[in-house]
Chain A
C-alpha cells in the first residue's frame, strides 16, 4: 500500500489487490486504515521514481514503434501506425506487448483503436480490446463520462444534469453542450470519435534511419554486440548511400530481456557511413561504458539509429585509386577519442573577436572544418585591425586568474616589486606595461567600470620566468581596493 500526503493528512494513494480485499480504498486516511488493519504495510509514494519507471517502460516500448508518448503518470501512448505488420497484425502485437509486460511483472491494460481517445477509453474501461475503425461510438456509448478524458468539474456538472454516459453526451445537441460546458468537452468527444485529429507528441525525436535485429537467443558478450553493430551498419550503409548522406550522430539501443534499455549515443566529426569505422567507434564507446552496461540475462533486440545525417560528398580518388586525406585520419582519431572519453576530449581553439584575453579564444569540441575551397587568405586573420606592434600574449593562461599578494609597488599605478603566488615569493626584476584592458561594457549589465578595469604587466622574476600579472581596479576611484592577479605564463 502506498501513501501520500494530501492537504496535511496521510492518505492512501494506491493499493494492491490484497489491500482492496480488505475494503480499503484510495483516498482513505492512513490512520483510519491502520485502525482497521494494524498489520498493513505502508510505503511512502515516490512520484519521481514512478516517473523514471514509466520512462523506462517508454524506452522499452521503442521496440514496437518510435512514436511513444507519456500519458499522465500511469499511461503510455504508442502510435503503431504502419508498425503492426512487423509483429504479425494488431492482435498479435497487442498479445506480444501484454505477454512481455506480464513476464516483466507488470499488470497492464491495453486498448487499440484508431484514435488516441478511443484507445484510452478502451484501455481504461474495457481492457485488452481492439476497436475497429469507425466503431468508436459503439465502444464509447455505454462507458461512463470519465472515458472521455474530461476534467472532474465538467464531469460532475454533466452528471448533475443527468448525462451519465458518453452515449448520452453524444446524443445530446451540441450547441447547448458547448455553451454550457465549454469547448473542451466537444473537443475531447470529437477527438475520441476521430472527427478531429489528435497528435501524440513523442518523447524522442524519430530517427531518420534505423535498423534493428531481433534475436531469438539473447546476446550477452560485448564482442557479439560489436559484431551485430557491424552487421547493422552494413545494412545502414546502403540506406545512407541511397540518400547520399552520412551519419553525424548515431545511437545504439540495446533492449534487455527484462525490459531495461541501454541507449549508447555518439557523435562523429564528419559524415560517416563506413561500417568498420562505425563498429570501431562503438567498440571504444562500449569499452568506456563497460561498467555501466549490465547485460543481465542478455539483449534480445539491438537497434542502430542514425540520429542526424548530413550530405556526404565522396572524395575524389587519384589514378591509383587511393584517397589521400589527412583530415579523415584526424577526424577518425578524434571520433575514437571522443567515443571513449566524451565530447570534450578533443578540443580545438577558435579565435573570437574580443580584447578580453580569456574570451579571445574559445575551445570547442573538435569538428572537421569545412573543406577549404579557396586558398587561405595571405594577410593574417588573427590581427583583424593591423597593429604595428601586436601586444604580447602569454602561451598559457590560467582558467581563472590566480590571486597574488602584492605588498608594495614603486608607483601606485606601476608594476609590483615583489609578490607572493602559491605561497612562494617572487622578486620582480623587470616589468613591461601597463596594458590597460577595460571590461566589455556592452556585455556586462552594470557595475563599476573602474573596478573591473585591468592593467596588465609583463614581468620577469629573478630566475627568468616571465608572467602576466594584472591589477584589477584603479587606485582612488572606487572604495574597493585594487587586487592583483596572475593570469598567464609567457614563453
Chain B
C-alpha cells in the first residue's frame, strides 16, 4: 500500500465521518495493513446495533440488574432518546422515579463509570475530554409542560436529594406553557454536553410530539452523547424515533428490613415494574426492580430467592448459637418450601388480583 501517512489519515477521517452518518463502527471498516491485527481484535469485542450510532461497549447505561441488562443487550443507550411510559397520570411518581434513578446512575461516582468516559472516540469527544469527576457535577434538566406539573406535582428537590442523591444545585427545572415550547427547550438542551441528562415530561399523546419531533430529539442526543428521557404519562404507545421504550408502573414495596427481620406494615424501598415495550434488540419481558437509595443501585426483586442469597452472602446468625450441640448450619440452606428455580419473569410477586385477595380488605399492619 503506497499511500503516504497524511493521505491515509485523510481517508480514515472521511471514513469515520461516513461511518458516523451510517451508524456503523469505524473499526469495522477496512483498516490499513499495519493496524489490521488490532482492528480485528476490536471488531470481536464490539457490538453493532442498527439505529444507534456507534455501539461501543460503554455506550450503554447498565441498570445493574443482570437480567434486564441482558434483555436490553447491554443496557439503555446513553446517547439516545429513551421513552419511559406510564399507564396513568397517577403513576407519575413511579415513572419519574425510574428516570431519576437512571440519572442517578449516570451521576453516581464509581469505578464502573471511570472507565466508561475514556476512549469514547469520535462519538463523544466532548465527554471524553473530561473525567468522570466532572460528569458527577453536571446538572440534570427536567422539562415539563405546565399541565403535567399541575396534574402530577412539581419535582421536590429535597425528596430528590434524599431518594436519588441528586443535589439541589444539580437540578434545573423548566416549565413550559405549551408543548412546542417544551420541545424547543428539550431540543436546545439535548444538544448540550454540559448537562448530564435531560428529562422531558409530557402528558398524553399530543400531536406535536410525533415521529419528526422525536427524531430531532434523538439526533441531538446522539450528537451530544447524552441521554434524553422522554417521560410520557397516560400515553398510548405510538411510533417514535426512540430505540427503547420502557413501560413503568409502581409495584408494592416490601417491608423495611430491620435487624429483627422485616417490619410489618412498613413501606420499604421504592419498587417498580418495568416492561420492555419496544426495543430493536430486546426480547419482551417484565422485571420488578427495587431502587436502593443508599447505594444508588437497582436490585431485582425475586422474592424469597433474594433473601436467601443475602442470607448465603452473610450467614452470621443474629443470636449466637448455644454451645454443646450439633452444628445446624449445613441443614439450614435446604429448608425451603418453594425453591424458585424457573421463576416467572415478573419475579415471585403475586399478581395484583392475587395480592389483593390474600391481603384482604384490612391493611397488613
Closest CB in chain B relative to A266 CB, distance in Å:
16
Indicate if the CB atoms of A463 and B173 lie closer than 8 Å: no
Segment among B6-14, B39-47, B58-66, B85-93 that sits at the interface with chain A: B85-93
Within 8 A of A (CB), among B207-258: 249-253
Which of B96, B167, B193, B253 touches A395 (beta carbons < 8 Å)? B96
The answer for the CA separation of A489 and B175 in the assembled complex, in Å, is 19
Q: Is B267 part of the binding interface, using a Cβ–Cβ cutoff of 8 Å?
A: yes
Query: Which of B130, B152, B174, B362 is the most central at the interface, judged by chain A CB atoms within 10 Å of its CB?
Result: B174
Chain A residue nearest to B359 (CB atoms) is A429
Segment among A193-201, A291-299, A359-367 that sits at the interface with chain B: A359-367
Indicate if the CB atoms of B175 and A347 lie closer than 8 Å: yes
Given A347-B172, A464-B251, residue A397 in contact with residue B364 (CB < 8 A): no
A256-271 vs B, Cβ < 8 Å mask (1 yes, 0 no):
0000000000000000
Indicate if the CB atoms of A346 and B174 lie closer than 8 Å: yes
Segment among A21-29, A36-44, A333-341 that sits at the interface with chain B: A333-341
Given A341-B181, A348-B171, A349-B173, residue A490 in contact with residue B270 (CB < 8 A): yes
Given A330-B192, A348-B171, residue A465 in contact with residue B156 (CB < 8 A): no
Indicate if the CB atoms of A360 and B158 lie closer than 8 Å: yes
Residues of B within 8 A of A351 (CB): 157-158, 168
Segment among A95-103, A105-113, A386-394 that sits at the interface with chain B: A386-394
Residues of A within 8 A of B361 (CB): 427
Query: Which of B153, B161, B164, B265 is the most central at the interface, judged by chain A CB atoms within 10 Å of its CB?
Result: B153
Which of A340, A398, A491 touches B153 (beta carbons < 8 Å)? A398
Given known contacts A394-B153, A463-B250, what 18 new A-B pairs fall within 8 Å (CB)? A326-B138, A336-B188, A346-B174, A348-B168, A357-B156, A382-B168, A393-B156, A395-B97, A395-B100, A396-B92, A396-B155, A397-B156, A398-B153, A417-B362, A429-B359, A466-B253, A491-B163, A491-B270
Q: Is B309 part of the binding interface, using a Cβ–Cβ cutoff of 8 Å?
A: no
Question: 16 A–B contact pairs at CB < 8 A?
Answer: A330-B195, A340-B181, A345-B185, A350-B168, A382-B162, A382-B168, A393-B156, A395-B97, A396-B159, A399-B154, A428-B363, A430-B267, A430-B363, A488-B156, A489-B93, A491-B96
Residues of B within 8 A of A397 (CB): 153-156, 159
Query: Which of B138, B163, B164, B172 is the most central at the interface, judged by chain A CB atoms within 10 Å of its CB?
Result: B172
Q: Is B56 part of the binding interface, using a Cβ–Cβ cutoff of 8 Å?
A: no
Closest CB in chain A relative to B56 CB, distance in Å:
23
Residues of B within 8 A of A491 (CB): 93-94, 96-97, 100-101, 159, 163, 270, 291
Residues of B within 8 A of A209 (CB): none
Given A462-B356, A463-B352, residue A345 in contact with residue B176 (CB < 8 A): yes
Q: Is B115 part of the binding interface, using a Cβ–Cβ cutoff of 8 Å?
A: no
A425-458 vs B, Cβ < 8 Å mask (1 yes, 0 no):
0011111100000000000000000000000001
Which of A360, A361, A392, A465 touches B93 (beta carbons < 8 Å)? A465
Query: Which of A393, A458, A464 is the most central at the interface, judged by chain B CB atoms within 10 Å of its CB?
Result: A464
Indicate if the CB atoms of A382 and B158 lie closer than 8 Å: yes
Q: Is B50 part of the binding interface, using a Cβ–Cβ cutoff of 8 Å?
A: no
A460-491 vs B, Cβ < 8 Å mask (1 yes, 0 no):
10111111000000000000000000001111
Which of A330, A337, A363, A394 touches B185 (beta carbons < 8 Å)? A337
Q: Is B150 part of the binding interface, using a Cβ–Cβ cutoff of 8 Å?
A: yes
The answer for the CA separation of A322 and B181 in the assembled complex, in Å, is 33
Q: Is A222 part of the binding interface, using a Cβ–Cβ cutoff of 8 Å?
A: no
We find that the number of chain A residues with CB closer than 8 angstroms to chain B is 57
Residues of B within 8 A of A341 (CB): 176-177, 181, 185
Residues of B within 8 A of A459 (CB): 267
Q: Main SS of chain A's interface residues?
A: mixed
Q: Is A344 part of the binding interface, using a Cβ–Cβ cutoff of 8 Å?
A: yes
A397-412 vs B, Cβ < 8 Å mask (1 yes, 0 no):
1110000000000000
Indicate if the CB atoms of B93 and A430 lie closer than 8 Å: no
Indicate if the CB atoms of A465 and B139 lie closer than 8 Å: no
Q: Is A324 part of the binding interface, using a Cβ–Cβ cutoff of 8 Å?
A: yes
Residues of A within 8 A of B100 (CB): 395, 491
Q: Is A329 part of the binding interface, using a Cβ–Cβ cutoff of 8 Å?
A: yes
Interface residues of B (CB under 8 A from A): 90-94, 96-97, 100-101, 129-130, 134, 138-139, 149-150, 152-164, 167-169, 171-177, 181, 184-185, 188-189, 192-195, 249-253, 265-267, 270-271, 291, 352, 355-356, 359, 361-365
Indicate if the CB atoms of B134 and A326 lie closer than 8 Å: yes
Closest CB in chain B relative to A77 CB, distance in Å:
41
The answer for the CA separation of A327 and B192 in the assembled complex, in Å, is 11
Indicate if the CB atoms of B97 and A349 lie closer than 8 Å: no
Given A351-B157, A395-B156, A465-B91, residue A361 in contact with residue B168 (CB < 8 A): yes
The answer for the CA separation of A167 and B357 in the assembled complex, in Å, is 104
Indicate if the CB atoms of B364 and A393 lie closer than 8 Å: no
Which of B93, B175, B189 touches A333 (beta carbons < 8 Å)? B189
Given A347-B172, A396-B154, residue A324 in contact with residue B129 (CB < 8 A): yes
Which of B97, B153, B193, B270 touches A488 (beta carbons < 8 Å)? B153
Indicate if the CB atoms of A348 and B172 lie closer than 8 Å: yes
Closest CB in chain B relative to A38 CB, distance in Å:
54
Residues of B within 8 A of A382 (CB): 158, 161-162, 167-168
Indicate if the CB atoms of A333 and B194 lie closer than 8 Å: yes
Q: Is A86 part of the binding interface, using a Cβ–Cβ cutoff of 8 Å?
A: no
Residues of B within 8 A of A49 (CB): none
Indicate if the CB atoms of A349 and B157 lie closer than 8 Å: yes
Indicate if the CB atoms of B363 and A429 lie closer than 8 Å: yes
The answer for the CA separation of A357 and B130 in the assembled complex, in Å, is 37
Indicate if the CB atoms of B193 and A333 lie closer than 8 Å: no
Indicate if the CB atoms of B194 and A326 lie closer than 8 Å: yes
Chain B residue nearest to A369 (CB atoms) is B169
Closest CB in chain A relative to B278 CB, distance in Å:
23
Indicate if the CB atoms of A396 and B194 lie closer than 8 Å: no
Which of B172, B270, B365 touches A466 (beta carbons < 8 Å)? B270
Chain A residue nearest to B160 (CB atoms) is A395
Residues of B within 8 A of A458 (CB): 267
Indicate if the CB atoms of A429 and B162 lie closer than 8 Å: no
Given A345-B174, A430-B265, residue A329 in contact with residue B364 (CB < 8 A): no
Closest CB in chain A relative to B130 CB, distance in Å:
7
Indicate if the CB atoms of B266 and A432 lie closer than 8 Å: yes
Residues of B within 8 A of A346 (CB): 172-174
The answer for the CA separation of A329 and B139 in the assembled complex, in Å, is 12
Residues of A within 8 A of B291 (CB): 491
Residues of B within 8 A of A350 (CB): 168
Indicate if the CB atoms of A345 and B175 lie closer than 8 Å: yes
Residues of A within 8 A of B149 (CB): 399
Residues of A within 8 A of B93 (CB): 394-396, 465-467, 489-491
Indicate if the CB atoms of B173 and A363 lie closer than 8 Å: yes
Residues of A within 8 A of B171 (CB): 348-349
Indicate if the CB atoms of B92 and A489 lie closer than 8 Å: yes
Residues of B within 8 A of A349 (CB): 155, 157, 168, 171, 173
Residues of A within 8 A of B90 (CB): 422, 424, 465
Within 8 A of B (CB), among A62-87: none
Query: Which of B152, B169, B192 is the most central at the interface, judged by chain A CB atoms within 10 Å of its CB?
Result: B169
Indicate if the CB atoms of A460 and B150 lie closer than 8 Å: no
Which of B156, B172, B352 touches A394 (beta carbons < 8 Å)? B156
Please list the 7 inter-chain residue pairs (A to B) with the smallest Cβ-Cβ separation, ordered nearest first.
Answer: A396-B153, A491-B97, A489-B93, A349-B157, A491-B270, A329-B194, A393-B159
Closest CB in chain B relative to A414 CB, distance in Å:
10
